[in-house]
Structure 1
Amino acid sequence: MRRPDPVQAVVFDFDGLLADTEKPWGVAEQAMFTSRGVPYGDTERHLFLGTAVAETARIMAEYFDEPQPVVLADLMQRARVELRRDAPPMPGAVELLGLLRSRVPYAVASNTPRELLDISLNGSGLAALVDIVVAGDEVPNGKPAPDAYLRACELLGVAPGDAIAIEDSRTGAAAARAAGLWVAMIPSGPSDPSDAHAFLSSLDDPALHAWLALG
């Protein structure tokens, strides 16, 4: 598997990768549909995977034929409740960040607004392990635009081509590739061989540790 040599930084997505937030987000999204009597299934779930909250609300507004600001406010409130209730770290997340902490600089680049991201960071117990965080509402354009990854690399003080992005969605992987990072993907939904330079099973996959030269 190709990678920069040496790896000078790692940039992580957050939702569904470092913290198991896909379940609470799924509960919030399904409640949005159910409360309006609109069917919600795998098609909708995959449609929203990795998408910025404002974009999710825009798509939902089309489904519901409601104003986007109304839908966004409802979605944000439901997400707050669910994320406070259930957002544990993903298996291997704490261990991987601990290994990296003394060896390779790292950051989080997320599509999630700062308010909700902070709820999840604190709820998962990962806030103390992550010093550099770029939230979705802190850059002009959300993923799949490269803005969050470019900003993370700027804060890390590295060139994008010397950094590795770790993602779980095609939207996020596209953003990382557009920014010029090397991409490792742990897919949480449909993927394509062209999405990433490496595909892995989990954060504690030995192949990931080898790829990051942590062995």
Structure 2
Amino acid sequence: MDVLLDNLDLYVGGFAGTIGLFVVAAIGSLLLGTLVAGMRVSPVPALRAFGTGYVTILRNTPLTLVLFFFAFAYPRLELVQLSFFALASVGLILYTAAFVCEVVRSGVNTVPVGQAEASRALGFTFTQTLGQVVLPQAVRATVPPMTNIQIALLKNTTIASGFSVFQAGGIYQNLSERGYNVLVGLLWVALIFVILVAPLTWLQRRLDARWGVAR
């Protein structure tokens, strides 16, 4: 307990950064991933090609490399100057959105084709069909895998500690500098992550029980 209590400022600051990074990246990746999923099921070939290319490239690129680009290469482009927190958020959003896209697309594929055909027969456009008919039904099938992606995102935020973003992943460095037992400090970090993941798991079970699709 001494390691935790004596360094409470480190833990509070570190996990505040982790939670902030997670919230921003989770919201951004859900929005972008859903948009790219819409492109992948679009009747427009160019949009489908873009969506496929995006998912293929990002899913097969290590997250460390993505964050490395935004931390070290992007500033050299001398474009819009952003903080390291913003750059880490962008990297996590772009990377996670590729996985969100595939989950949403798989959910869309569970909706019977007749639903889309019926909406088109009523004069709905593709965007209206997707947003008002297909996606609301697809959400039910995406709850378990989407929760897993968000849990992975929460843990992936620790990688940002190597790119000047202070959050939970960087606590051990400060503990070492202060002369505390790093192993004990990391055990506290792991325990707090378990506590943070627990609400996501509980939410998944609640939603899955309510929206679960009979298989």
Give the TM-score of the pair, scaled to structure 1: 0.28
Greater percentage in helix? 2
* Greater strand proportion: 1
User: For the pair shown, which has the larger CA radius of gyration, 1 or 2?
Assistant: 2
Q: Which TM-score applies when normalising by structure 2? A: 0.28
